[in-house]
Amino acid sequence: MTLQRTLGLFLLLFSGLFLTACSKEKVHITSAAVVNMDKGSGNFDRILKICFDKPIESEYYHKVTIITYENVTIKGEGRIRPLASQPDAKCHLKNIYLYINKNSPPNARELIHDYVKPGNIRLLKVQLYFDKPEGKEIPIDEKLFRDL
């Protein structure tokens, strides 16, 4: 394979990757709230409902900070994927217990159950990114909600 042909192939692949990474549409967060959808199991008693200006058609990454009136702080992050069962849905439901990680406060599950509930949220910050941030990337959208 000649150098020119190799270089051409490399540029073609690189431009394809670049276009794929930039092909995601910019979406905006319109609302967020903590809701209770549990019917007795205890696994879905703390759900974060995040709504966007249009249905999600690509995978995005988000970060969340929840602060209650008692100053219980829960921080988490993860992917937001298109909904296969409801492709036209603008809202996504995220189980708040899944935000528990190694940096969470001790007994985070009990703190979420006792304090992170509708009507007790002082501040909720949601940041949306095209991909998982590796450094100090600026979010494509960021919203701050108070008194939820």
Structural domain containing residue 57: 26-146
Domain assignment of residue 68, yes or no: yes
Domain assignment of residue 6, yes or no: no
Domain assignment of residue 13, yes or no: no
Domain assignment of residue 15, yes or no: no
Confidence at 8, pLDDT banded by 50, 70, 90 = low
Domain assignment of residue 16, yes or no: no
Whether 24 shows a pLDDT value over 90: the answer reads: no
Q: What is the CATH number of the domain that holds 39?
A: 2.60.40
Domain assignment of residue 62, yes or no: yes
| Chain segment 34-75, per-residue pLDDT in tens | 988 766 666 678 899 999 999 999 999 999 999 999 999 999
Domain assignment of residue 117, yes or no: yes
Domain assignment of residue 113, yes or no: yes
Distance of CA 115 to the CA centre of its chain: 21
pTM, 2 dp? 0.78
In the prediction, which pLDDT does 16 show?
Answer: 47
Which of the residue ranges 11-15, 41-45, 75-79, 112-116 would you say has the lowest mean pLDDT?
11-15
Q: How many structural domains comprise the chain?
A: 1
